Amino acid sequence: MAKLVKTNGEVSEVQPANGTDFSLEELQGFVGGMIELVHLPEDMLMVVNEEGLLLGLELNPVVWIITGRTIAGDVLVCRSEEVK
């Protein structure tokens, strides 16, 4: 199950509308714009807003704690097979 990690620390489980993989529109909706895929260990992906820092989106402290990376905006963490 994919997890949406918001900048306010809220984490919620989400699933693709079709039950198997997220559409581009769904991914863009979760992060609020153009997407960038960040590969994580164990065949996982983190979907982030490609322009989050440029747009001045709020930094995501949960992502910083987990990855040590500065990411702005909400992120989606999912298995790589959920993104085609």
pTM check: above 0.95: no
Q: Is residue 78 a contact partner of residue 22, using CB atoms and an 8 Å limit?
A: yes
Q: What's the pLDDT at 3? A: 97
Average pLDDT over every residue of 12-39: 97
Q: How many domains in the chain?
A: 1
- Containing 48, the helix (H) or strand (E) segment is strand 44-49
pLDDT in tens, 31-45: 999 999 999 999 999
Q: What is the mean pLDDT of residues 58-77?
A: 92
What is the pLDDT at residue 82? 98
State yes or no: pLDDT of 83 exceeds 90. yes
Q: Which structural domain range is residue 73 located in?
A: 2-82
Closest CA to 60 of 3, 9, 4, 7: 7
State yes or no: pLDDT of 69 exceeds 90. no
CA separation for the pair 29, 22 (Å, rounded): 11
